[in-house]
Structure 1
Amino acid sequence: MRICVLGAASSPHVLARARAFGERGHQVTLISPTAPEPHEPESSPLTILWPKPHRAGFAGKIGLVLWTAWMLTRQRADVYHAHYAAEVGSWLAWLLRRQPLVVTVMGGDVLFDEQGSLGPLGRWLTRQTVMGARLVTTKSRHLTEVIARIGVPTTRIEEIIWGIDAAVFRFSAEGRASTRRDWNVADDSFLVFSPRMMMPFYNIDLLVEAWAKIADTEPNTLLVLSEYRADPAYRDTLKRRVKELGLERCVRFVPARTPDRMADAYSAADVVVSIPPSDGFPQAVLEAAACGRPVILSDLPRLYDILAPETCALYAGFDPAAIAAAVKKTMKNPSNTRERAEKAREAVLARADFQANVDRVEGRLLALVRTD
């Protein structure tokens, strides 16, 4: 198949999905609004196109629209696959009647009221795009319900979580040791890791406030915050708050890691925490669970489908005291914590095997091409 993928080349998830089809012998072209990360290998089995140079401001937005439209009109693909519905490339694929169109929604693109930064026009374009697609894939039952409420027939919706590559995301004792050396963390320290973007939406400030309730009674604990896609002003605010609370010894800021080194980062942790107020189904949580790490998550019932409360994960409200209590629970009950982590890993490997889900998507794409 000739597949035209629409999505951000700066997203490791979009790249992994596009690359998987290239590795299966399909001809894949990725049209991206952003440049790929420098670590993308030159031997990558896909062609990546992005605007050069990328201009800022209103002129840049108009230029991106025109460039993307031009790129799309030049494509002679068998199928067009948009990753993230609320993006210029996805909208233009619908407007230019590029068919068969497949849209993979990720959460923030269609959870308008929870994560909405889109105005009325953006929401309308997003709705029209998913309604105009021949197939919409979703990462959870909750997102399936959201797409159905928009008006997409259930026969055109398929729940595909995509998931993780179990050969990559697995516990590594060597990776744990080397990462702790990189972060200057002692072997016997209890390490809680936040891998999510360092932006206000992800409630990293609540973790810092929770640590003020942990540090006095649990001096051997350490909170490690990834600076992945950090908002500079928010990062500065967090660092000031850490200093005000006297937590410099037990809260650490670390540089973002490339995707190929994330399994080692998860392995270094004793607990991985993720507490945004909204999520489709967080990829970082799937990765951490596959590495056998216990997880503490936002209390969002949509996540229960895979990670059952208490059985596979601990859930906490958006309150520092609740987060602190969940962390202490993982520390005080190590055998229960290990059992939860093992069950979470089993659940993720059963439902979220990447290659198995690529098989499913490939089958649906081939069927669309045959019937188009």
Structure 2
Amino acid sequence: MTTTRLNCGSRNLPMRDGIMSSEARPTRATGVSPRKRLTICAIGEADSVHVATRIRCFADMGHHVYLITPSPSRHGIAGVTELVPGFDAALAYRGWRGALARGCRRIGGETLCHLFRIVGFVRLLLRCRPDIVHVHYAYSLYGWAAGLLGCRPLVVTVMGGDVLFEEQGSPTPIGKWLTLELLRKADYITSKSHHLTEILDGFGGFADKTERILWGVPVETFRRVDASSLRQLLGIVAQRRVILSPKILRPLYRVDLVVEAMVLVRESCPDAVLLLTEYMPDADYRGAIKRRIDELGLAEHVLFCGQVDHAEMPAYYSLAEICVAVPSSDGLPQTLLESMACGTPNILSRLPRYEEIVRHEESAYFVEPNPADIGDGILRLLTDSALHRRISDRAREIVYAEANLAEQAARVEHRYQELAATIRPAVMRPAALLAVWRSYRRGRGGPAATPTVARLPS
């Protein structure tokens, strides 16, 4: 059982075997590649802004793009056909199919569920007949399946949390092993920073097939805009000076430190107000921050904005004079590149991957992760207009030179073409499955059962 999700502008087009036929797929008149028109099967979360933005680039180039995803996006991805493996789709049903799927999960547990998911995944791959399989986020069930099955040509994009095992999350030993197997099988890996590439190399010499691709931002969208209507909507009067925290509202990102810093900022700049976006919030963490705001008497200086639609973010960056992000661990986040493109200076914790693209007091402002230093940094940028302007201008230059999404996607598309021309496409190779089984057997009971993970620099 397999379901498909057709996206914007394609819901009424003819279908073949449950998938929109090649003849019916819409393409745009501009930006179509003169080279081979590829069938690309991406694997990732449809509701991830990063995944949606990137794969849409290849649809805009005229390629046939599918996305295998655990759940469909809310609004569709223009030019992309979303495919949901049957078991995941069944779980979302309210009728007998949903009841049956949920019953299987209760009786057989997650192992049986994963087996059903993989069967549906294989069926989708066989029907897509892709020239390229591209996994977005390595630590994922369907990404692991693509590696185990021996899909080729296989491209993997690592994002940070999927390979920073010692810094983020709680990966299981089998999850680590499956991620490393996926990376071993990949024909081409993209990494957003040299730091991540070094981590990959420590796993097994993967740097040789890894290219630093920032992906970047669509510069025609992320630019300085008139934010007066947003200011009015939020009820922020003209004289108030806006600081923005665009990070995920979870403990890893230490938004609480920015809130604590507002005590110092308020003393010297009573008109300052901090906006907190609420993407993927941790309910307990949000509650703790709200209580701390009340304890410190900051209710008029810290505002929760809810989950902001990505299309509205240019207005939020433009409304803000400063963005603040002081996580304990990070990749090279889109929020940094987006705010830079909009000319909003960033206050950052000093992480090695940040320092690959920005410099202190040249294109960003680095602080120690404590409220006093964060507060001093905010006040410095609020009062030193020359420094603020210098950072803003240089940040925009960097994005246009190094993080233009169209240029970055063109580099990946060039590699797609090379891979498609030199590697015979395959969805499932028995030899690959046998090799994985042998690798697993060798590791059972020995050191390889829990893969070696490179120790990150402190």
Which band: TM-score by shorter chain?
Answer: over 0.9
* Structure 1 match to 2:164: 111
* Structure 2 match to 1:84: 137
Aligned partner of 1:251: which letter? V
**SS of structure 2 residue aligned to 1:49:** strand
Contact 1:215 1:221 in 2 (8 A): yes
Aligned mate of 2:193, from 137, 140, 159: 140
Tell me, yes or no, if structure 1 residue 265 matches structure 2 residue 299.
Answer: no
Contact 1:274 1:297 in 2 (8 A): yes
Aligned mate of 2:181, from 128, 134, 149: 128
Contact 1:242 1:251 in 2 (8 A): yes
Aligned residues: 367
Deviates more, 1:130-139 or 1:58-67: 58-67
Per-residue CA deviation, residues 49-108 of structure 1 (Å, 9 max, x unaligned), is: 123244687546565444334433443111100011011111000011111100010111
Paired residues for 1:201-350 under 5 Å: 201-350=252-401
Aligned partner of 2:159: which letter? M
In 2: Cα distance, 1:76 partner to 1:343 partner? 45
Inter-CA distance 62–191: structure 2 relative to 1 (3 Å threshold): farther
Tell me, yes or no, if structure 1 residue 99 matches structure 2 residue 152.
Answer: yes
Shift of 1:199: 1.3
In 2: Cα distance, 1:178 partner to 1:66 partner? 50
Shift of 1:271: 0.4
In 1: Cα distance, 2:395 partner to 2:369 partner? 22
In 2: Cα distance, 1:119 partner to 1:337 partner? 44
Deviates more, 1:356-365 or 1:181-190: 181-190
Per-residue CA deviation, residues 294-325 of structure 1 (Å, 9 max, x unaligned), is: 11112112211211121100112221111111
Contact 1:306 1:348 in 2 (8 A): no
Tell me, yes or no, if structure 1 residue 40 matches structure 2 residue 40.
Answer: no
- The gaps in structure 2 that reach 5 residues or longer are 1-37, 93-101, 424-458
Shift of 1:280: 1.1
In 2: Cα distance, 1:33 partner to 1:152 partner? 31
Contact 1:22 1:28 in 2 (8 A): yes
Contact 1:33 1:64 in 2 (8 A): no
In 1: Cα distance, 2:253 partner to 2:127 partner? 39
In 2: Cα distance, 1:265 partner to 1:63 partner? 43
Deviates more, 1:121-130 or 1:60-69: 60-69
Contact 2:183 2:206 in 1 (8 A): no
Inter-CA distance 179–63: structure 2 relative to 1 (3 Å threshold): farther
In 2: Cα distance, 1:54 partner to 1:332 partner? 54
In 1: Cα distance, 2:71 partner to 2:349 partner? 30
Shift of 1:122: 0.6
Per-residue CA deviation, residues 248-305 of structure 1 (Å, 9 max, x unaligned), is: 0111001222111111111010101111111110101100000000111121122112
Contact 1:296 1:326 in 2 (8 A): yes
In 1: Cα distance, 2:120 partner to 2:261 partner? 46
Shift of 1:339: 0.8
In 1: Cα distance, 2:312 partner to 2:193 partner? 27
Per-residue CA deviation, residues 110-169 of structure 1 (Å, 9 max, x unaligned), is: 111011321111111111111110000100111111111111443311111000111000
**SS of structure 2 residue aligned to 1:137:** strand
Tell me, yes or no, if structure 1 residue 12 matches structure 2 residue 49.
Answer: yes
Shift of 1:222: 0.3
**SS of structure 1 residue aligned to 2:139:** coil
Contact 2:148 2:181 in 1 (8 A): no
Aligned partner of 1:266: which letter? Y
Contact 1:198 1:230 in 2 (8 A): yes
Paired residues for 1:191-202 under 5 Å: 191-202=242-253
- Give the greater-gyration-radius structure (CA): 2
Q: Structure 2 length normalisation: TM-score? A: 0.77
Contact 2:332 2:354 in 1 (8 A): yes
Inter-CA distance 65–211: structure 2 relative to 1 (3 Å threshold): farther
Per-residue CA deviation, residues 33-54 of structure 1 (Å, 9 max, x unaligned), is: 2321x2336xx10100123244
In 2: Cα distance, 1:230 partner to 1:320 partner? 21
Deviates more, 1:146-155 or 1:19-28: 146-155
Aligned partner of 1:273: which letter? V
* Structure 2 match to 1:49: 83
In 2: Cα distance, 1:54 partner to 1:226 partner? 30
Contact 1:83 1:103 in 2 (8 A): yes
Shift of 1:10: 0.9
Aligned-pair RMSD on alpha carbons? 1.6
Contact 2:247 2:253 in 1 (8 A): yes
Tell me, yes or no, if structure 1 residue 166 matches structure 2 residue 219.
Answer: yes
Inter-CA distance 61–267: structure 2 relative to 1 (3 Å threshold): farther
Contact 2:197 2:210 in 1 (8 A): yes
In 2: Cα distance, 1:155 partner to 1:128 partner? 16
Deviates more, 1:128-137 or 1:152-161: 152-161
Contact 1:72 1:93 in 2 (8 A): no
**SS of structure 2 residue aligned to 1:188:** coil
Deviates more, 1:55-64 or 1:88-97: 55-64
